[in-house]
Structure 1
Amino acid sequence: MIKYRKRIIATLLCLVFLGIIIVSLVKCSVKIQATDLMKGVTAKEVSGKTSDDEFINSSANFAVELFKKTVSVDKNTLVSPLSVMLSLAMTANGADEQTKKEMETLLGGTIPLNELNNYLYTYVKNLPSSKKYKLKIANSIWFKDEESFIVEDDFLQKNADYYGTQIYNSKFDSQAATDMNMWVNRKTDGMIGNIIDKIDPSNVMFLINAIAFDAEWENKYNGSTNGTFTAFNGIKSTVKMMSTSESEYIDDGKVTGFIKSYKDNKYSFVALLPYEESSINDYISTLTGESLLAEINSAQHISIETQLPKFSSEYSLEMKDALMALGMNTAFDENTANFSKMGKSSGGNLYIANIIHKTYITVNEGGTKAGASTVTRMGVKGTPIVGKPVILDRPFVYAIIDNSTSLPIFIGTVMDIK
């Protein structure tokens, strides 16, 4: 009986990845009815820490390992490592002992949580955003308004300081679900609507991260022509192919690809096509954070012809199994999870019930949505090479990177186009 009385922390992640189709934000006269607790929590100044090799390498490793654990062998996949990391880092600030240790190791390797907070604060703060390339990142925490659940002030303060978190208090009734969906809808410019169907009576907290990105290509495509795409199962279909010349060519002996910039060269789209004798799943199985960064940063500055299919994709998954496979086990255990730095409930032990990740992307002639800063990519010294055309007419991996670090804000696969 005690088991069913235990309270659950439902950690909910939300990401939206927008395409070139501009969706206007619908202004709704209905206001969020939950109480805004941030009125009593003022963010303090923090020092932050500039991205260095240690942070970049550990973040790239987290991104690739998360991608490998969530990729589907027979359908399109898209995840945002940044979205997942921000939501988990917020949660980790309430963890202690083994729970905290596992989350620290997963997120930053040997980087302590306090140091990771400073890295992420500076990294997110420095991600550029303008009318030409818009990147919006928002975080919120929603608490159940009941006497038996007491939130630690230090937990609220850290998340306000490092993540600019909006904090709400609600009775967790049907209106609360409406409020959360409304918040997500607004923060993602209307691209994600209902992500929460209902709230379980045992839920006491939701942590939500929302990302919306909207950018045009630096070099737009001039229309499209019919082409053939061969899906993972060998079935061929007619698709709209967009053609253009690009100047950053990737070829490391396992994959060919190209890098295509968005406006003002702040963010880029990276396409990676495995050699024909190798399957996409074989390539992904050997991918590491180090090898992904190496492929991106060793791009050759030569002109090549490319073809990219127009595509749209929606992806939603529960990430509990993937994160447990990566070593984050204790946080999901109702008996051994330790979130004592987050709060206390007389109803039982606090633990993470689930983590939901939802994405959306559209790629066409005008642009896509993703993030980054300016990076200088050095070509490999040696004999000049002649780039081969890169035709994305079969399954491929793609990423949206921050040009200042080459870290993937989004990473996914196209296995089929329907």
Structure 2
Amino acid sequence: MKSGTNFLKKALSFTLLGSLALSLCACNASPSMVTLKSQELTGRLPDESVTGKDPDDTFCSSTADFSIRLFQTALSGSGTGENVLLSPESVLSALSMTANGAGSTTRTEMEQVLCGGMSMEDFNPYMYSFQNRLTTSEDVSFHQANSIWIRNQEDAIQVNEDFLQTDKNYYQADAYYAAFDDRTTKEINQWINKNTNGMIPSLLDGPIADDIVLYLINALAFEGTWDTPYEDSQITEDASFTNYAGEPETVAMLHSTEDYYIHDEHATGFLKNYKGGGFAFLALLPEEGMTPEDYAATLTGEDYLTMFRNRETRDVIVQMPEFTYDYTTELKDVLSEMGMPEAFQKHADFSNMGTTNTGYLYINRVLHKTHIEVDRTGTKAAAVTAIEMTAESCVMEEETPPQVILDRPFVYAIIDTNTGLPIFLGTVNTVQ
């Protein structure tokens, strides 16, 4: 546990979306396919103007549903008493870029899981507006970047130019043509390091396998400070936190009175704003005897949004621990269970993304790695998601203020306060 006072409030997410690999099944390139030959490809594509859609109930409902289902499905497969942290926004962004390259049943399944059955043609404008709005706050820094890396062997992959154009238009994705050798590994890691403000210095740690032909990468970084900073008198350096196993742990505890109280049948919580109020830290303490995992299992996206929208403007007495941890998981099984198994099978259809001279493309695995630090000055968090596609296939009356004392396991999120949608979702089962 780190209890230093020098951390800025930061949340970063990096998503590496996938290495596409060659299939054993042969197929021919269509006339709309192009074999790209330059190192930086984005300049070859026209700058097209697109119209976004402001987040509405349709978008918020589908995105909240994806976020909560991703969270609870991942929790069901996590280790007992383990701290978990996901970035639904990062995963959704990366998968949406990938879904633009999917076809037939593969695309239908992905659209159902990612956007509640909306077509990508309808969903992309929502993502365009939502992501642009997240990055325009004057009170916090929210940076987002996307890139596509393509193996430059002539027989490796022929990329559909329409796919690249769509991801450029709606996700501002840059495209690069690379040798996929040790230098490419270094360049990708440098891109990651730059676009996560140095919080994630690298992801790739070895040679890129011969059957990997394409990577799609999303990185997002959030930096802010508490809207109301903690004074020294509000900090207890040696407070106690009872972990998942019922054992006491010593932790620095932050005391405050917050303005927004949230609750449902099984949990009580609060919102604590970052500077400007556009983003907030949300915490939920399950009732006694209920674990964070058990509580998450009771939620739906609709439940979550209803709880956020019904938040009460009233004093709530809060105690919150400082904490830090890392988390790594593989999301292939999670996403398959959520309803998009075909994307991971050899008969997956990613023909709208591109073709190879030897076969089709499919997702091999989805890696997600996160890091978070919460202290008296703020939060520092990072997330990495890797989707790897491989090459074998084809106002109230006065009363006593409520108290939310986070001295035992709890659920938390970093949210966009305009929509309530979570950028990060996590659990704290231990602070050591």
TM-score above 0.5: yes
- Contact kept, 8 Å, 1:94 with 1:343, in 2: the verdict is yes
Choose the corresponding residue for 1:251, options 240, 243, 263.
263
| Pair 1:165 & 2:179 matched | no
| Pair 1:207 & 2:249 matched | no
Choose the corresponding residue for 2:254, options 230, 235, 242.
242
| Pair 1:59 & 2:102 matched | no
State the SS of the aligned residue for 1:397. strand
Choose the corresponding residue for 1:20, options 8, 18, 23.
8
For 1:217, the equivalent position in structure 2 comes to 226
Kindly tell me: are residues 397 and 339 of structure 1, through their superposed partners in 2, closer, same or farther at Cα, counting changes over 3 Å? Answer: same
For 2:20, the equivalent position in structure 1 comes to none
1:316 positional shift: 1.7
- Contact kept, 8 Å, 2:99 with 2:107, in 1: the verdict is yes
| Pair 1:349 & 2:360 matched | yes
Distance (Å, rounded) in 2 between the aligned partners of 1:200 and 1:131:
42
Kindly tell me: are residues 22 and 317 of structure 1, through their superposed partners in 2, closer, same or farther at Cα, counting changes over 3 Å? Answer: closer
State the SS of the aligned residue for 1:304. strand
For 1:152, the equivalent position in structure 2 comes to 160
Distance (Å, rounded) in 1 between the aligned partners of 2:7 and 2:135:
18
Mapping for residues 320-339 of structure 1, pairs under 5 Å: 320-334=332-346, 336-339=347-350
1:70 positional shift: 1.5
1:311 positional shift: 0.7
For 2:87, the equivalent position in structure 1 comes to 80
Mapping for residues 39-58 of structure 1, pairs under 5 Å: 39-58=43-62
Distance (Å, rounded) in 2 between the aligned partners of 1:160 and 1:128:
17
Distance (Å, rounded) in 2 between the aligned partners of 1:130 and 1:96:
36
Deviations 1:37-75 (A, max 9, x none): 112013311111111101100100000000111123421
1:221 positional shift: 1.3
State the SS of the aligned residue for 2:60. helix
Deviations 1:278-327 (A, max 9, x none): 23222111111111112222121111211110011211222111111111
For 1:135, the equivalent position in structure 2 comes to 142
Choose the corresponding residue for 1:269, options 273, 278, 281.
281
For 2:386, the equivalent position in structure 1 comes to none
Residue identity in the other structure for 2:49: E
- Contact kept, 8 Å, 2:68 with 2:299, in 1: the verdict is yes
Structure 2 stretches lacking a partner, 5+ long:
1-5, 12-37, 382-394
Distance (Å, rounded) in 1 between the aligned partners of 2:147 and 2:375:
32
Kindly tell me: are residues 284 and 202 of structure 1, through their superposed partners in 2, closer, same or farther at Cα, counting changes over 3 Å? Answer: same
Residue identity in the other structure for 1:212: A
State the SS of the aligned residue for 2:154. coil
Distance (Å, rounded) in 2 between the aligned partners of 1:49 and 1:19:
36
Distance (Å, rounded) in 1 between the aligned partners of 2:116 and 2:262:
28
- Contact kept, 8 Å, 1:249 with 1:299, in 2: the verdict is yes
State the SS of the aligned residue for 1:301. strand
- Contact kept, 8 Å, 1:76 with 1:413, in 2: the verdict is yes
Percent of pairs with identical residues: 40
Choose the corresponding residue for 1:401, options 387, 412, 415.
415
Mapping for residues 336-415 of structure 1, pairs under 5 Å: 336-368=347-379, 386-415=400-429
Distance (Å, rounded) in 2 between the aligned partners of 1:367 and 1:46:
36
Kindly tell me: are residues 326 and 337 of structure 1, through their superposed partners in 2, closer, same or farther at Cα, counting changes over 3 Å? Answer: same
Choose the corresponding residue for 2:98, options 68, 87, 91.
91
Structure 1 stretches lacking a partner, 5+ long:
1-17, 24-33, 371-378
For 2:198, the equivalent position in structure 1 comes to 190
1:128 positional shift: 4.4
Distance (Å, rounded) in 2 between the aligned partners of 1:50 and 1:251:
28
1:368 positional shift: 1.9
Distance (Å, rounded) in 1 between the aligned partners of 2:421 and 2:9:
25
State the SS of the aligned residue for 1:291. helix
- Say which is worse superposed, 221-230 or 161-170, in terms of deviation: 221-230
Distance (Å, rounded) in 2 between the aligned partners of 1:389 and 1:42:
55
- Contact kept, 8 Å, 1:78 with 1:410, in 2: the verdict is yes
Distance (Å, rounded) in 2 between the aligned partners of 1:165 and 1:19:
30
Residue identity in the other structure for 2:73: K
Query: What's the TM-score, normalizing by structure 1?
Result: 0.87
